[in-house]
Structure 1
Amino acid sequence: MINIILICAAGMSTSMLMQKMKDSAEKRNLDISVLAMPEGKLDSYKENIDILLLGPQIMYLEDKIRGIYEEKGVKVAVIDMVDYGSMNGDKVLDDALLLLG
């Protein structure tokens, strides 16, 4: 299973995107878990993370989060602003999977 975490300022808008990504993964028969949370809760999350996607509104935290999580083998990226704004779950999921190679 691939574990994807979406983080944003409050976790609200990423919750909608999370559901669209889950729907996309289900249609494709992919074994993927997607979870959304506010950035402040990330430190207390202890489960395995493969991909960590940041909402565009917190892109200023990218370097800090990369520094913490990439050394643990987690792929980190900022979600494209257009895809985020249009809640394009298919495209965000595609971009996330590309991170894994």
Structure 2
Amino acid sequence: MKILLCCAGGFSTTMLMDSMKRVVKNSKKLDENTFTFKAIPVDLLQSEVEDTDALVIGPQIAHKLDAIKPIIEPYHIPYVIVDKDTYGKMDGATVMKMVFIAQKKAQMNK
């Protein structure tokens, strides 16, 4: 599963990405070899969206959702917007749960 994390500059999102990687690595149920993560600034989304399985949107760019949707909708990419508290805690476990829920919802709507 390719998970793309998107924020204003890509810096703080890299810390969240590292937390998510640790969650996968420490999980007894998840195989870290089946996951790839990439943190990018929102300006690069168009060039990175292909082959993405889920998009994680940082709270600092949640207001750009109207610009993000036309980029991801042709690819049917599920997305989550991380709330400020979860983001501030760099809570990778909660974000991974959000991603899995978004994926399941997307599969049910196909």
Q: What is the TM-score with the length of structure 2 in the denominator?
A: 0.83
1:85 aligned to 2:84? no
Gapped runs of 5+ residues in structure 1? none
1:61 aligned to 2:56? no
Identical amino acids, percent of aligned pairs = 33
8 Å Cα contact 1:15-1:36 kept in structure 2: yes
Instruction: Letter of the 1:72 partner, please give it.
Output: Y
Paired residues for 1:1-101 under 5 Å: 2-28=1-27, 29-30=30-31, 31-45=34-48, 47-101=50-104
RMSD of Structure 2 on Structure 1 (CA): 1.4
Instruction: Letter of the 2:3 partner, please give it.
Output: I
Which structure has the larger Rg over C-alpha atoms? 2
Shift of 1:47: 4.3
Which one has a larger percent strand, Structure 1 or Structure 2? Answer: 1
Runs of 4+ more than 4 Å apart: none
Gapped runs of 5+ residues in structure 2? 105-110
Tell me how far apart the structure 2 counterparts of residues 68 and 37 of structure 1 sit (CA, whole Å): 15
Q: What is the TM-score with the length of structure 1 in the denominator?
A: 0.90
